[in-house]
Every structure is written in structure tokens, then in C-alpha cells.
A and B are shown apart, each in its own frame.
Chain A
Amino acid sequence: MNTPGCLTDLDLIAWWLRESDASATSAAEEHLFACAHCTARLQRLAQFGAGIRLAAQSGAVHAVLSESFLAKLRDDGVRVREYRVQPGMSVACTITAGDDLVVSRLQAELRGAQRIDVVVEEPASGGSQRLHDIAFDAGSGEVVLAANSRQVRQMGVTTLHMRVLALQDGAERELGVYTFNHSPS
């Protein structure tokens, strides 16, 4: 919610992320230095940013990411364990004390897909989780999925299936099934 006369949330975010042009940047800064209320709102946004950064570095959140983002994490010293898997293939996997993040790189032909879902299934328990409408770069040829490291560390010997599905006009087409045979380190 915005107070009349104050910067909008969109203005604040654009300024913080350096998206605004020179004129808007200058106006936003003049306002911020004169307005304690907007300063407090910006402090909160900055806190959210710092918290998200920390969560990403420590693997405290699962997320679909990109190869360029993984490269940035590695450059920053985040220890990333990666499993690149072809459709129909399986892999033995784990997480060690030296890993911050575990990433599954599901190879798939994504070109032409309008929407992609990923279904994670655990046959032993019958449990499943569907990741709806993930962001994907059709030209990349893969879905990069970072797991929540804390949850992975708590897993015993487990087999998981991940299915990448392309959805179009109400129909879904399986692009690949990937099997992860997890064992604790």
C-alpha cells in the first residue's frame, strides 16, 4: 500500500535495482532523503533482499534457476553439487557436509513448450509434489532445479522420480523422467 505523495512500491524497487532513468533516479533520491516513511519501506525491501540472498547461498529454499545464476553462485564461493541427468536415466546422489546446494539439471527438449511443470514423486511413500508453471529458457535444453538443502540432508535412502511435462491446450506431454537414488553421505 502506498501513501499519497510517497514513492510507489514500483518506484522504490526500480530505484533499488537501478532500473529507473536519470530523472526518476534523482527524484526518488530527493524524496527518500526527505521522507522517513519511504526510507523505512526501502529498509524493509533491502532486508527482504538480504534475507533472500542468504537463503539462496545456504540452500534454504528450493527454486528453478538458470545456468548463469549457478555460475554466479560458484563465483561467490557457494559450494554447488550438480547432477546432470538425461531423460530416462538415473543417478546416485547425495549431499555432503561440504555442499551448500544440490542442483538437478534435467536435460530436456524445451523448444516449442508453452508451459512446463515438474512433478517430483517418491514411489515408496506414494507422495508427490507438482511444481506448476516454472520459468524456463526454451533454448537452454534443461531445467535447473535447486533443492532445499536442509530437506535433502534429512532424507534417508530414497528414490525420487522427476517428470518434466510440457502443457499445451489442456494436454500434457512428458518430456522426460529422471530417477534420483539418494543416500545420505
Chain B
Amino acid sequence: MNLLSCRPVRPYAPGVHRSISMLEEIELAQRIVAAGAHRDAEAEAELCRRFAPRIRLYGLRHLRSEAAAADLVQDVLMMTLEKLRAGAVRELDKLASFILGTSRQTVVDARRGGQRRERILETFAPTLPQFDEDSAVPLDSARLEHCLERLPERERSVLVMTFYDDRPADEVGAALGLKAGNVRVIRHRGIERLRLCVEGGES
């Protein structure tokens, strides 16, 4: 799998001044490393803004709790910045993997009781910059409800029972008398129809 091919192309020419939002993640990391203890607040905030949603979604998927996912974002970003400032991340071009690894370890620790979190907060808490998370366009909940009501019955049943509690296809299928493969097909079709209706304004 080519992990880079789906990144948007940056529309700039070499040598032209670029705003912070146009820098590649490796460039942000290089600036943070170069600043060290003096701290490059702008680069740090931009790196946090970009990675916060990835860590949060990872946390939601593994911890199934908004609060726990928010804690994970804070912990992982604090540790990442501290390692970068100390020059302790060896391969900056693999920063995403480093942050994923830190996220994984932090989730494992959280499941074991979370004692490590207290140590992290004591050590790093004052050093996290202020940043606005790179968030998605807000969802129009009235529009979503309108579109849900217009789905075929099976698709609505499957989507409600799946996403109410993020249940896999086999569990939803067992409750509705459907095979797991059938649930996946209905689910996929329903999500696509919902997306078209919500984002395309189709009724």
C-alpha cells in the first residue's frame, strides 16, 4: 500500500514563503527539533492541530469513550512534543508511525489502570501549546434525521442498530435475522445513500 499517494499536492513553488498550514509534517517536526527547549510554538500548535483528530479517532475506536479519547489526545501530544524537543525521535520521516506507536502504548497502559497517565501529566502538562483541532465540518443533525427517515426500512434498521453502539455485522445480523455479509452490504449501501442525501442535499 502506498501511504503517501492520497495526500493532497501542496500548491507552492520551492523558495516561496509558505504559511505554517502549508508545511509538511516532517518540516514541522524539524522546526520543533531545531527549537528544542526554546520551543517553536507555531510549529507545535500546527502539528497538534493536524494529529489531534487522528489520535482522537484512534482513542474512540479503542476506548469507546469521548473523555478517554480526549485524554489520549492530550497525553500522546504531550509525549510527542517532549520527545521532539529533546531530539529523541530518530526518524522524523516516520513521525506518524511514532505517534501511532505512542497512542497504542498509551491505550494499553490505560487499560492496565492508567497509573502512567498521572506521571505524564506531572511531567509534561504545562508544555502543551494551545491549538484548535483540525475538525470536520459540523453535521446538520436535522438534515441527518430527515435523510434517515427516507432510507429503505432495512437500511435504517441496520444503520441505527449498528451505529447506536458501534456493533459489528454479525451481532446486528443475529438480532435482525440477517447474515453478517448481508448486513455489510445493507450497511454500506445505507451509509452511501445517507452521505449523498446529507452532503448532496438530495431528499
Using CB atoms and an 8 Å cutoff, list the residues of chain A in contact with chain B: 3-6, 9-10, 13, 15-19, 27, 29-40, 42-57, 60-66, 68-69, 72-73, 131-140, 148
Contact status B61-A139, CB under 8 Å: no
CB-defined A-B contacts under 8 Å, sample of 13: A3-B6, A9-B191, A17-B166, A34-B3, A34-B96, A35-B7, A37-B8, A39-B57, A51-B139, A55-B160, A69-B160, A131-B153, A134-B154
Instruction: Tell me the number of A-to-B contacts counted with CB atoms below 8 Å.
Output: 173
Contact of B162 among A3, A5, A17 (CB under 8 A): A17
Give B90 Cβ to nearest chain A Cβ, in Å. Answer: 17
A48 touches B163 (CB 8 A): yes
Q: Is the CB of B191 within 8 A of A61?
A: no
Contact of B57 among A5, A42, A69 (CB under 8 A): A42
Bound-complex Cα distance A136 to B99 (A): 44
Contact A44 B136 (CB under 8 A): yes
Q: Tell me which of A31, A63, A73 has the highest count of chain B C-beta atoms within 10 A of its own C-beta.
A: A63
Question: Which residues of B approach A to under 8 Å, CB–CB?
Answer: 1-8, 50-51, 53-54, 57-58, 60-61, 96-97, 99-100, 103-104, 134-136, 139, 141, 144-145, 148-149, 152-154, 156-169, 175-178, 184, 187-188, 191-192, 194-195, 198
User: Given contacts A16-B166, A65-B160, A69-B164, is CB(A137)–CB(B6) below 8 Å?
Assistant: no
Q: How far is the CB of A176 from chain B (nearest CB, A)?
A: 18
Cβ B6 vs Cβ A6 within 8 A? yes
Query: Are A40's CB and B136's CB within 8 A?
Result: yes
Beta-carbon contact of B57 and A61 below 8 Å: no
**A30–B100 CB distance below 8 A:** yes
Contact of B1 among A5, A57, A134 (CB under 8 A): A5
A33-B163 contact, Cβ under 8 Å, with A13-B187, A16-B61, A46-B57: no
Report whether over half of chain A's contact residues are helix, strand or loop; otherwise say mixed.
helix
- Shortest CB-to-CB span from B147 to chain A, Å, is 10
A-chain residues with CB within 8 Å of residue B50 when the two chains form the complex = 36
Cβ A47 vs Cβ B139 within 8 A? yes
Of A19, A38, A56, A148, the contact of B169 (CB 8 Å cutoff): A19
Asked whether A48 and B177 contact (CB < 8 A) given A16-B61, A33-B54, A62-B149, the answer is: no
A137 with B149: in contact, given A19-B168, A44-B136, A53-B163 (CB under 8 Å)? no
Question: In the complex the two chains form, is B157's CB within 8 Å of A63's CB?
Answer: yes
Considering the chains assembled together, what is the distance between the CA atoms of A73 and B165 in angstroms? 10
Q: A31-B3, A60-B145, A63-B160 are in contact. Are A135 and B176 (CB under 8 A)?
A: yes
**Residue among A16, A61, A72 making CB contact with B156, cutoff 8 Å:** A61
Partner of A136, one of B58, B165, B177, B198: B177
5 nearest A-B residue pairs (beta carbon):
A5-B5, A137-B177, A66-B175, A6-B6, A49-B163
- A3 to B6 CA separation, bound complex (whole angstroms): 6
Q: In whole Å, how far is B167's beta carbon from the nearest beta carbon of chain A? A: 7
Q: Check A53–B154 contact: CB distance below 8 A.
A: no
Chain A residue contacts of B166, Cβ below 8 A = 16-18, 49
A165 to chain B, nearest CB (A): 13
Residue from A4, A13, A32, A45 in contact with B58 in the complex, judged by beta carbons closer than 8 Å:
A32
**Chain B residues near A29 (CB-CB < 8 A):** 58, 100, 104
